[in-house]
């Protein structure tokens, strides 16, 4: 660049000298060819400076973008297995929806609140709050493969029979908490005829906050039989050990579990149908 600037200065000086000579008529007009050669040389040098060696390369837009997009869509296209699974989900959703009641069941006397797979029933009697809480996860028993079913007999409906926790709470006092579970058919057969219990108390604890692993509890098997019977009587007097209560709880749990199952199927269907 410094050399180029010096050339420009030299040419300018030469032009001035040529003009002086012309005015003095020392040289002929034909001598202008020298100046023309110098101008040509300067022009050539300027073009060299603008040669591709110093130029900024132009932005090249590759046509492969569209090709890559097409290839990407091909990667996310559904396989035969995905398509079959998608069709199965659609059929399963429709089948399950046909079995869902138009309105959700309820348990008489209780208000119902749900959060995820957890259901909480609450009612207040005088100064005492009674809650029944259960989770529908793993609450539907698998069919017994050893049982031979008659082809002509109707198939029994799968029911949700969850374990549940009963809490009796009064203000300014600890809570009586009982972990309970439904009796199976074999347990009910072994019961005396004068007993009508449909569930059992498994554990008992006195709780100030929430029942957790640090809470002391007693297995019902270790309780004095009279104490166990008195606890069951307490629950019966509060309407918690009647057959109608248990039937309504099973109906509510079965319906809610099915709705949760349908929701999971619909989310899975949406995922499989997403490109």
Please choose, from the candidates 230, 217, 238, 260, the residue with its C-alpha nearest in 3D space to the C-alpha of residue 132.
238
Question: Mind listing the pLDDT tens digit for each residue in 96-119?
Answer: 999 888 888 999 999 999 999 999
Across the range 52-76, mean pLDDT stands at 46
Please choose, from the candidates 152, 154, 181, the residue with its C-alpha nearest in 3D space to the C-alpha of residue 166.
181
- Token pair in block for residue 28: 């002929």
Angle at 82 between CA 79 and CA 87, to 5 degrees: 125
| Cβ atoms 108, 248 nearer than 8 A | yes
Question: Mind listing the pLDDT tens digit for each residue in 115-163?
Answer: 999 999 999 999 999 999 999 999 998 665 444 455 555 556 789 999 9
- Identify the residue whose tokens are 């209780």: 110
Label the pairing between strands 218-219 and 128-135: unpaired
Task: Give me the helices (H) in the chain, please.
Answer: 2-23, 32-49, 64-75, 80-99, 185-189, 225-237, 243-272
What residues contact residue 23 under an 8 Å CB cut-off, 6+ apart? none
pTM for this structure?
0.66
Q: If you write DSSP's letter for every residue of 175-202 in order, what string do you get?
A: EEEEEEEE--HHHHHTS-TT----EEEE
Across the range 81-108, mean pLDDT stands at 92
């Amino acid at each position: 660049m410094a050399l180029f600037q010096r050339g420009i200065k030299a040419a300018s000086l030469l032009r001035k000298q040529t003009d002086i000579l012309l005015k003095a008529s020392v040289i002929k007009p034909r001598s202008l060819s020298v100046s023309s050669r110098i101008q040509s040389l300067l022009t050539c040098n300027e073009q060299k400076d603008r040669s591709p060696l110093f130029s900024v390369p132009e932005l090249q837009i590759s046509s492969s973008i569209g090709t890559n997009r097409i290839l990407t869509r091909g990667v996310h296209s559904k396989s035969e297995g995905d398509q079959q699974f998608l069709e199965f989900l659609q059929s399963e959703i429709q089948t399950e929806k046909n079995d869902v009641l138009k309105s959700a069941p309820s348990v008489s006397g209780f208000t119902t609140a749900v959060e995820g797979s957890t259901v909480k029933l609450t009612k207040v009697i005088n100064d005492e709050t009674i809650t029944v809480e259960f989770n529908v996860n793993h609450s539907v028993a698998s069919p017994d493969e050893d049982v031979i079913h008659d082809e002509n007999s109707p198939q029994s409906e799968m029911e949700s029979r969850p374990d549940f926790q009963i809490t009796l709470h009064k203000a300014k006092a600890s809570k009586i908490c009982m972990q309970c579970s439904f009796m199976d058919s074999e347990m009910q057969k072994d019961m005396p005829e004068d007993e009508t219990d449909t569930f059992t108390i498994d554990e008992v604890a006195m709780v100030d906050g929430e029942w957790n692993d640090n809470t002391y509890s007693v297995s019902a098997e270790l309780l004095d039989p009279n104490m166990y019977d008195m606890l069951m009587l307490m629950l019966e007097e509060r309407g918690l050990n009647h057959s109608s209560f248990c039937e309504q709880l099973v109906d509510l749990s079965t319906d809610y579990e099915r709705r949760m199952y349908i929701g999971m199927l619909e989310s899975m269907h949406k995922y499989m149908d997403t490109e």
